[in-house]
Structure 1
């Protein structure tokens, strides 16, 4: 039912002991005055940079207990105004007040905003999601029983009792009635009306509202070309437009009729439409009393006694954040177990194919190149496997983290949210089993098929080196995604970096022959340290390599000479592992 929803809900405070958990709702009103917002755009024809006005002195009031509808000829203008009221556009000029107190970032504590591209983890249930949010937002102020009571209240209010234990499964968001038939639209807006009747202030946008939807709203705010054409009670709109000789004909959708009045087919030819719109703007400007707007909420602060909108900060604490985030990650990852199982099967198939290609290598002169090449590509394939999964899942996690932090008090991770460090630590800790299991599943069959040998210690240290390489690949994915949020751009940069790292990794060109001006890339490459680490672990165990002294193909007579031939540093394999760990 909540698919395609975009709204701002001023959450009322409850006058109860222990914060939330039932009680009398304390209403919260919202008012905005002379909001102005301009952006610069490039003219597609002239290529000149032009200034465009999205909001040109917009004012209005949203009363507690009422459902407000913002609409107009441009969906972008309605959306921008809603973003400004929700505190999500810092470029806007003008004043916004809540219960007579001018807007501050901490007031987001009393607001909920459903963004256009809403995101959820699809593998948690409705109830689990709300429990996680309650623990983060309500902090330590509630008992376990009060947490559950508050969550059940919200589920009941939203009419989701029959779906409380269903997986969220992904939702979309736009306008409340977007993509719905008339009956479904009416049901959704009716639920918003019920939320408003409980004392909240609910503001929604709709670009093509039906007559049934219009009948449910209390307040109407009509915008056209960045200006207000009407702002007031929806029930009084017919009287207002009728007085201007634009009475809505019988059997027509009133809101559809009002919107048609604002449409100009072409400013060059539709002179009547342009004149009509100019008249409607001018008439509303005359009607809109500056004293009435400016003296309401903006001067009510003294009368309200400076009602404290900040309230007590309710931080859950660093360890509390980690506990909630780790628990959530474990829950959702456990529900990915079947997907993870098939991923391991895929990795196993790749490992078997790889092992069959490099089957039972020996330590002959010809085997030097084969074995060293196998180590290089073994590491490269593992890096690609781990990085691919990072690019597949990290964008969603980053978007969800950004969304949840933006909804905090003060925005950007204030009270009621969590820090980026907590998010990163929780995600990294929960990823440790995967970072170990995947390299193990990959390397075990390769180890036996290649017949690497030399005992368990060689297997263990090589396995550990590959685990560190996979961790470095994930870290590289984090770094790249931090520069580009578009996945294809990040993946392109990753491929460019990998190409440079592969070329300069020590296999295609001897380390001693790398030009000085690109040598720094060689030392930044995780492939360098992984490759050298594997080479040292294996070849330092090889004491003798058969060689015909009369042959010109005699590369090396021992593992140490192999390392010297490839220009591998004298640094220990442990040092390579520590460098990979730091990456």
Structure 2
């Protein structure tokens, strides 16, 4: 075994490319210590149709202990469901719920200062697919690095990270997604790591950084992390089943099984430890495979016979072993002066790395770059053009003698531009929930700056398409040719679009389920259409109140006011009749006076603002605000 281990280390050293740690100069080092960490969740017993469901507490972590010092890389091994990711999330300060025990960073609790010195790479690479590698890292640098660093220096740091992680060849390639060809899986993972490396973290957490990668790419990723650890960082990762080449890169190993620790110590000493307590491998094998067999309760003896083992014995032995390693002396390197300096930095540090206006500007630029491919897609533009042309042809050169047809066109426009922006906006926040949670949990920006940039970024497309639509349909349909009437109609339509978009944002943020939100939106908009005053004029009193919350009701009134006036007449069977007496207009109760038009416009403005406030509050309630 010693010969095999020596040979593996020789292979690793020969394949590891030395990466200069250009970012870690002068950075505070961190000793991570966790003692008797327990995490409990409540689960419900009983089926779907059981009325009185019992709740019970389930322990996910059961008194886990360990310590990781600067320059060390800790790998947490264990089968699926052993608690690896839960422990990693707890150590990264991101776990909510009933967490007990002690987790300290240089002897202190987790704080905002520590949060800004901590990087966390999730298992799934949550990245914008249409941004290039350089754009992804530059935008992250502009948002996460403090104002004490100039913009030019931030861009330079992003380029330095690209060089450091070997991303130079693909720096101008888009990141891509499962449905969009981009960089490779290993390069995507390195981009995710690079986003965290930008803040020069003293402490770096990674959840399954080699998941889904081939052995060669996984070797490069872990070798890079090994070099970063040797630069003075404290690195903690979860990994499912590493090869022997990867295993011998780990300075320390924590073996978990059903929330219990079975081993904590140097990776190179794990085989010797288990051999001393009666569990020696029968033949030369990957130490990680042997440890995972033990974690699954399986031990193969020299006769190649599998035996079930007593895990409780391993847990008890591990507690004794861990107790010897977790000594107060581990913190001797942190003197009182450095502690007081850290507390001073925490007290005087800014809450956010950049100002609100900087966050808004950078996020707006990023949103426009990412969303332009979706917003200005050929399919959306073609859809609007086709509907506009068909509408213009169906109502071609209609005049006031066909008043019912003209009113029908106005109501159709109201209905179409109620549904179209509504269903576009519904998917905004559900699709970006993972990205929002990832970036907000790292303290990258305020929720308000994200929300405003997200809303403003959609305005060019949300306002340009209805403008093109009305330019085509309005003149083909023969509506009033005066410029004032056209502008009145256009402004009414744009206000209607913004209100519908706000409703979509509110529904999407509140429900956060695309199918459920779409169904709810369809029901609501259909109710608004029916109560808009065109389909049903004689509405029973007990349900007539619905029209006052209908977007289409107020929009329909403003559309009518944009085309007709109180004293205007139209040809009828008795000669000339007043437009105000036409049934489809009279039964709405609308009068052609300025006060009612102002009231209708005010109602839409209130809805436009109110729906967006609901969306913002909904985002706050789902737990993505800064903690």
TM-score, scaled to structure 1:
0.85
Measured after TM superposition, the shift of residue 233 of structure 1 is 0.9
Matched, 1:288 2:322: yes
Matched, 1:548 2:573: yes
After the TM superposition, which residues 119-268 of structure 1 pair with which residues of structure 2 at under 5 Å, given as runs? 119-170=126-177, 175-264=208-297
Change (3 A) 1:418 1:262: closer
1:521 is aligned, of 521, 527, 546, to 546
Greater alpha carbon shift after TM alignment, 537-546 vs 460-469: 537-546
Greater alpha carbon shift after TM alignment, 323-332 vs 43-52: 43-52
Matched, 1:383 2:418: yes
Corresponding residue for residue 448 of structure 1: 475
2:556 is aligned, of 504, 508, 531, to 531
Measured after TM superposition, the shift of residue 274 of structure 1 is 6.2
In structure 2, C-alpha distance between the alignment counterparts of 1:295 and 1:230, rounded to whole Å:
21
Measured after TM superposition, the shift of residue 301 of structure 1 is 6.5
Change (3 A) 1:185 1:429: same
2:383 is aligned, of 334, 337, 346, to 346
Measured after TM superposition, the shift of residue 303 of structure 1 is 8.1
Matched, 1:49 2:55: yes
Q: Deviations over 1:238-275 (max 9, x none)?
A: 1110101111233321111111112248xxxxxx9665
Change (3 A) 1:264 1:245: closer
Do the aligned residues in 2 keep the contact of 1:33 with 1:59 (CA within 8 Å)? yes
Change (3 A) 1:44 1:259: farther
Greater alpha carbon shift after TM alignment, 399-408 vs 272-281: 272-281
Change (3 A) 1:21 1:301: closer
In structure 2, C-alpha distance between the alignment counterparts of 1:435 and 1:422, rounded to whole Å:
20
In structure 2, C-alpha distance between the alignment counterparts of 1:484 and 1:273, rounded to whole Å:
50
In structure 2, C-alpha distance between the alignment counterparts of 1:204 and 1:490, rounded to whole Å:
37
2:361 is aligned, of 312, 319, 323, to 323
DSSP-derived class of the 1:353 partner: helix
Do the aligned residues in 1 keep the contact of 2:76 with 2:237 (CA within 8 Å)? yes
In structure 1, C-alpha distance between the alignment counterparts of 2:325 and 2:242, rounded to whole Å:
32
Do the aligned residues in 2 keep the contact of 1:465 with 1:530 (CA within 8 Å)? yes
Measured after TM superposition, the shift of residue 109 of structure 1 is 0.7
Measured after TM superposition, the shift of residue 84 of structure 1 is 0.5
In structure 2, C-alpha distance between the alignment counterparts of 1:301 and 1:472, rounded to whole Å:
59
In structure 2, C-alpha distance between the alignment counterparts of 1:31 and 1:298, rounded to whole Å:
13
After the TM superposition, which residues 268-287 of structure 1 pair with which residues of structure 2 at under 5 Å, given as runs? 275-287=309-321
Change (3 A) 1:242 1:44: farther
In structure 1, C-alpha distance between the alignment counterparts of 2:142 and 2:438, rounded to whole Å:
17
Corresponding residue for residue 10 of structure 1: none
Do the aligned residues in 2 keep the contact of 1:33 with 1:96 (CA within 8 Å)? yes
DSSP-derived class of the 1:381 partner: helix
Q: Deviations over 1:518-575 (max 9, x none)?
A: 44432122111111111121232772111223xxxx9x92222233233335544344
Change (3 A) 1:542 1:491: farther
Greater alpha carbon shift after TM alignment, 109-118 vs 238-247: 109-118
Measured after TM superposition, the shift of residue 379 of structure 1 is 1.3
Corresponding residue for residue 412 of structure 1: none
Greater alpha carbon shift after TM alignment, 525-534 vs 176-185: 176-185
In structure 1, C-alpha distance between the alignment counterparts of 2:223 and 2:358, rounded to whole Å:
37
Do the aligned residues in 2 keep the contact of 1:95 with 1:103 (CA within 8 Å)? no
TM-score, scaled to structure 2:
0.80
In structure 2, C-alpha distance between the alignment counterparts of 1:561 and 1:436, rounded to whole Å:
34
Do the aligned residues in 2 keep the contact of 1:21 with 1:149 (CA within 8 Å)? no
1:568 is aligned, of 571, 582, 590, to 590
CA RMSD in angstroms, aligned pairs only = 2.8
Do the aligned residues in 1 keep the contact of 2:76 with 2:239 (CA within 8 Å)? yes
Measured after TM superposition, the shift of residue 38 of structure 1 is 0.9
In structure 2, C-alpha distance between the alignment counterparts of 1:497 and 1:346, rounded to whole Å:
23
2:578 is aligned, of 533, 554, 558, to 558
Change (3 A) 1:83 1:579: same
Measured after TM superposition, the shift of residue 293 of structure 1 is 4.5
**How many residue pairs align between the two structures?**
541
Measured after TM superposition, the shift of residue 299 of structure 1 is 11
Q: Deviations over 1:213-239 (max 9, x none)?
A: 212211111111111111111111111
In structure 2, C-alpha distance between the alignment counterparts of 1:500 and 1:482, rounded to whole Å:
21
Gaps of at least 5 residues in structure 1 are 1-13, 15-19, 266-271, 409-416
In structure 1, C-alpha distance between the alignment counterparts of 2:24 and 2:68, rounded to whole Å:
24
Measured after TM superposition, the shift of residue 362 of structure 1 is 3.3
Corresponding residue for residue 7 of structure 1: none
Corresponding residue for residue 6 of structure 1: none
Do the aligned residues in 2 keep the contact of 1:34 with 1:58 (CA within 8 Å)? yes
Measured after TM superposition, the shift of residue 49 of structure 1 is 2.6
Change (3 A) 1:39 1:27: same
Corresponding residue for residue 96 of structure 2: 90
Do the aligned residues in 2 keep the contact of 1:100 with 1:301 (CA within 8 Å)? no
Do the aligned residues in 2 keep the contact of 1:158 with 1:191 (CA within 8 Å)? yes
Q: Deviations over 1:135-173 (max 9, x none)?
A: 222232012332233222222222212222222224589
DSSP-derived class of the 1:573 partner: helix
Do the aligned residues in 1 keep the contact of 2:533 with 2:587 (CA within 8 Å)? no
